Amino acid sequence: MRYLLTILLMTVSGLAQSTQLQGVGSFEILNQPLFVVALYAGEDYASEAKAKPAPEKLEFKVVDEKISIRQYRKLWQEVFAVAQDRQVWQTYSSDLQTFFQVIKGPLINNDQIVLERRDSATVVSVNYRQHAVLSAEFLDLMVATLTARIAPVPELRAGLLGLLPEEENDDLLRQFDRSEPTLGRISETARWLRMKPENESRVSQL
């Protein structure tokens, strides 16, 4: 009996550790924090010193009071414009358009957006509800964009790569852990799922 219990505990522990936090950083524009962002990756990849961890989840938690739809789309267009070329926009135009349109109302403090790898897709959730399914490569693209050598948000790059001083990292982790949407807000953003997508033919080009 004790042997079986030990095996069960080891199995549960292994599942819990299969995806590990790699880093947490502040997404800032002009010194104004908008999101606290956490990157999770597979433990098996992270164990190899020369191999980059395979990203499994990227989680954004809003720390600004309000981010309008226009601001949200504009900041992401600018982020991708800095780190990626026109070919990337063309290749991922459908994913980008869907990602831009996931938000159908202003984001407020404690809202969260999660991009998570599931099977052969990237699932986008807003406040614990699934809102879109994108290509599996989109999560990799997002992580590569935010951690590029010429990073659109240098402070965020440092955090996601685990390069921040310990005290700053701990402060961000506490802020990240405390940030949770209310039940009322979860219901409110769930109604976005019933809204029709905008009639846009393409994503803005560089």
Which residue range forms the structural domain that includes residue 145?
23-194
- Evaluate whether residue 17 is within a structural domain: no
- The model's pTM is 0.83
Quote the number of domains for the chain: 1
Work out the percent of the chain whose per-residue pLDDT is above 90.
72
- Evaluate whether residue 64 is within a structural domain: yes
- Evaluate whether residue 203 is within a structural domain: no
Q: Quick: pLDDT tens for 128-176.
A: 999 999 999 999 999 999 999 888 999 999 999 999 999 999 999 999 9
Q: Quick: pLDDT tens for 90-141.
A: 999 999 999 999 999 999 999 999 999 998 999 999 999 999 999 999 999 9
At 152, which CATH number?
3.50.70.10
- Evaluate whether residue 133 is within a structural domain: yes
* pLDDT for position 51: 56
- Evaluate whether residue 162 is within a structural domain: yes
- Evaluate whether residue 11 is within a structural domain: no
The count of C-alpha atoms lying within 13 angstroms of the C-alpha of 44, restricted to the half-sphere facing its C-beta, is: 4
- Evaluate whether residue 12 is within a structural domain: no
Closest CA to 139 of 109, 113, 159: 113
What tokens does 20 get? 């590990």
**DSSP conformational letter for 191:** G
Q: How confident is the model at residue 195 (pLDDT cuts 50, 70, 90)?
A: confident
- Evaluate whether residue 5 is within a structural domain: no
